[in-house]
Copies of this chain bind each other. A is one copy, B any other.
Amino acid sequence: MATPGTREEVEQTTHTILESAKSHCESRGTRLTEKRRQVLAGLLDSKRALSAYELTDYCRDELGYPLQAMSVYRILEFLEQENLVHRLNLAKKYVACSHIVCSHEHELPQFLICKSCFKVEEITIERKTMTSLNNSVEAVGFNLASHQLEFDCLCVDCDD
């Protein structure tokens, strides 16, 4: 984590996080239904990025009933709108936001994705680094479409 030791970084059980997610939705007038809650729980439990189809497997195996891919995609879309999960384009997988229990705003996250085990870290890049990057991009007439950058990485466990 970027700032270990702060209150927002203390260990949170899946249950606690799900409660936060529920209030988050209620305050926005949306509903964290049972199935949405279960998809989010799957992502939280796995502690890594999962594909939509891996989540259908999770539901079948862990919850004892099937949740078809179409439904999972819709639920992931909802959770992403609620800022509870992030979609990772590079990995084509989805990951629970690591800041669900925090109430305050965060900088836009950058994602480090282990291309082997799909563990994900959300980091915040120094502002001046982002500025420098932006300058390089704008110098050739482009604009960053998203500031949620994704980086293919290897984590310590998977690196040889």
Residues of A in contact with B (beta carbons under 8 Å apart): 1-2, 89-90, 110, 112, 114-115, 121, 123, 125-126, 128-129, 132-133, 136-137, 139-146, 149-156, 159
Contact = CB atoms under 8 A, between A and B. Distances in A.
A interface SS class: mixed
A142 B129 contact: no
A119 to B, nearest CB: 9
Contact of A141 (B133, B151, B152, B155): B155
Given A123-B137, A136-B123, A154 B129 contact: no
Given A89-B90, A149-B151, A136 B126 contact: yes
A145 B152 contact: yes
